[in-house]
Every structure is written in C-alpha cells, then in structure tokens.
C-alpha cells in the first residue's frame, strides 16, 4: 500500500503547505512513499510528535485533483442558478448520470479508495445517496443500508432528528440493518452544511457501528460542512466555490 505526498524538486527543511504547489501555483507531481517513511504525514503523526505537518486530507486532495477522471466528472455536473429558490446554485448530478463513462469513473474512484478497508456497510442518504451507494457496496462486498426520511420505511425503525437552517428534519433506519461492530461508510451526493451527514453518523454510532468515513461527490467548502463532522474523515471528488 502506498501513501501519496506532494513534494517539490528541492525538499524543504520541514514539511509545509508550500509543498503542495510551486511558485507558479502549479500542482506538483505525486510520488509514492512507503508507510515507513518518516515524512509520511498521517494525522496521528501530528498528535504524536507535536510538529506541524500537512494534513492527509489536503495532500490526498492535491493528488486526487491530478487524476484526469476528476476533471471529466466535474464537467458533467450541471450548475442550475436560482433553483430550488432564488440565490441557490444547484449542483445537478443527473447530467453526470447521463454519461456512462463519467458515472463509472465516479464509482470507480470511490471503490478504489474503499476496497480492502473492511467496510461492512455502506449507508446511503436519501435520495441521491441511493444512486452512488449501492454500486459502491456491491463492488467492495458490503451491504447497503438506506437512511430515509420519516415514514418511508416499513417496520421498526430508529430515528435521528437534526436541525436545518429553517426547521428540523429526521433520518430513519431499519432496526437490525446495522449491527454493533459494523464498519460503515456514509455516502451522499453533496455536503453543504453537514447537518445530514452528522445525523447519519449519529444514527449509525447509536447502534454500535464504527463510521470509517463519509464520502460525497461534491463539497461546497464555503458552507463549512466538514467542520461539523467532529473530525470524522470526509472524502470528496469535486469542490464548488
């Protein structure tokens, strides 16, 4: 297994954010480093040594952005202004689904990340998490569990309420669908404020599952949704500023 780190031709005395780009602001190539390399910058290294290191998420993002599939995916996502209400720029993934290659690339990128990580359950958030979650689950050999809006699931359910900007909402999951000790991946199409992902994680953790990571196709960074995830890893493919 390799961990990727972006480096410049001339190694600086200590890792810094400047290693992610050169003085022309061009992304630098990603080179594989073995996990035993002392400069590998996992989050726990920061805590253990107390020194400044570039976060894993920042470096993974820089390396990921060099994958040509990412550009192809981004070009297939339509941005619809003033929908569903004035002032909203809606990220429409239905146009991505119309392109078989871009859709497959999207699924492949997630599968490449999670295959071999012993994920036992993929939890998809209604509604567009149902599009990406099942093919990921099938490819990595995990079960798929839908997290639905109230009164959509028959039988006994467990619920988690969460606060929206102008009210409240709720996610529900079948009792027994997720078991203690399950390793869960939460999937949705987009993270904005992060409220829905938080509710999904709470729901899974209440039944004893370990949430390994959250995965979304799109992030709207200006809404700072990842700040609400209590440090839980978030993997995204495309950012819209």
| Residues assigned a catalytic role | 128, 165
Handedness of CA 149, 77, 235, 46 (dihedral sign): negative
**Angle between helices 100-114 and 129-140 in degrees, nearest 10:** 50
Instruction: Encode burial over 132-144: b for 16+ CB neighbours within 10 A, e otherwise.
Output: bbbbbbebbebeb
> What CA–CA distance (Å, rounded) separates 87 from 9?
44
């Amino acid at each position: 297994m390799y961990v990727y780190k972006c480096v410049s031709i001339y190694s600086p005395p200590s890792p810094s954010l400047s290693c992610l780009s050169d003085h022309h602001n061009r992304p630098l190539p990603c080179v594989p480093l073995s996990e035993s390399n002392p400069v590998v910058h996992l989050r726990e290294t920061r805590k253990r040594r107390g020194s400044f290191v570039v976060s894993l998420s920042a470096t993974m993002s820089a390396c990921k952005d060099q994958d040509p599939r990412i550009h192809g995916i981004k070009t297939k996502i339509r941005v619809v202004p003033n929908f569903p209400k004035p002032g909203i720029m809606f990220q429409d993934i239905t146009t991505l689904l119309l392109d078989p290659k871009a859709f497959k690339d999207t699924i492949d990128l997630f599968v490449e990340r999670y295959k071999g990580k012993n994920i036992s359950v993929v939890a998809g958030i209604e509604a567009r998490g149902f599009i990406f979650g099942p093919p990921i689950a099938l490819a990595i050999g995990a079960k798929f569990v839908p997290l639905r809006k109230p009164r959509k699931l028959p039988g006994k359910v467990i619920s988690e309420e969460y606060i929206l900007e102008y009210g409240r909402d709720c996610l529900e999951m079948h009792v027994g669908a997720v078991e203690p000790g399950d390793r869960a991946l939460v999937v949705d199409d987009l993270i904005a404020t992060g409220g829905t992902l938080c509710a999904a994680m709470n729901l899974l953790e209440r039944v004893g599952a370990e949430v390994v990571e959250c995965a979304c196709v799109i992030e709207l960074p200006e809404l700072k949704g990842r700040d609400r995830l209590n440090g839980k890893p978030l993997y995204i493919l495309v950012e819209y500023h």
